[in-house]
Amino acid sequence: MASGSEKMRWKFRLALALSLLAGFSFAAEPKDHSTYTDPNYVDPDYYTPAPYKMTKVAKVNITNASFRTDYDPKEDCTDFVITPKLATFYFNHARPVSESDRMHRYAFSSCKAEGKVKFANGDEAEWTIQRGGMAFVDMLHGKFKDKTIYLHCDKCVDWSDWLRAARK
């Protein structure tokens, strides 16, 4: 059986080892980055829409015409189905919005559709359009490659208005 002083030495050694390990950071976060060190840091792009100039749609592919997420379990998405004509109408009338507007100004929806779009300027993107007029566009080619652009279509906020407008 170990003596009391021997137990104290082991406790001291363990405490010393743990205190040395506590100084190491195992995460791959740059702790000197302003995001972590400045409590007043604001992403400069948060309040500014991407300076993307929308051009006409050359081609639209639908990969999932309608699906539902669990954002609002009570939202009925049965009548929300995007067609190529509706997606083309959307992109021809949408405009870039800031991430701040996406988060605080426009409504989220559980009703969504996904696909790909090619614009007349050659840019290509994968998109997710929500009922209510919001879209997330992940650019695949062009100046904004690998960037997400948030879009909003004022003419697409109300689903029935969107359907009527796209028929014209």
Give tens-digit pLDDT for 92-106: 999 988 776 666 666
Residue 79 tokens, joined: 């009548």
Please give the order of strands across the beta sheet that includes 134-139: 57-68, 111-119, 124-130, 134-139, 148-152, 95-97
Give residue 58's pLDDT band: very low, low, confident or very high (50, 70, 90).
very high
Pairing of strands 124-130, 111-119: antiparallel
Report the candidate in 111, 99, 97 with the shortest Cα–Cα distance to residue 159: 111
pLDDT of residue 53: 82
pTM over 0.75: no
Q: 4 in helix, strand or coil?
A: helix
Give tens-digit pLDDT for 121-166: 999 999 999 998 999 999 998 788 888 888 999 998 888 888 888 7
How many whole angstroms separate alpha carbon 60 and alpha carbon 119? 9
How many whole angstroms separate alpha carbon 37 and alpha carbon 86? 46
Q: Is 94 exposed, middle or buried (0-12, 13-18, 19+ CB in 10 A)?
A: buried
| Mean pLDDT over each residue of the chain, to the nearest integer | 80
- β-partners of residue 139 are 125
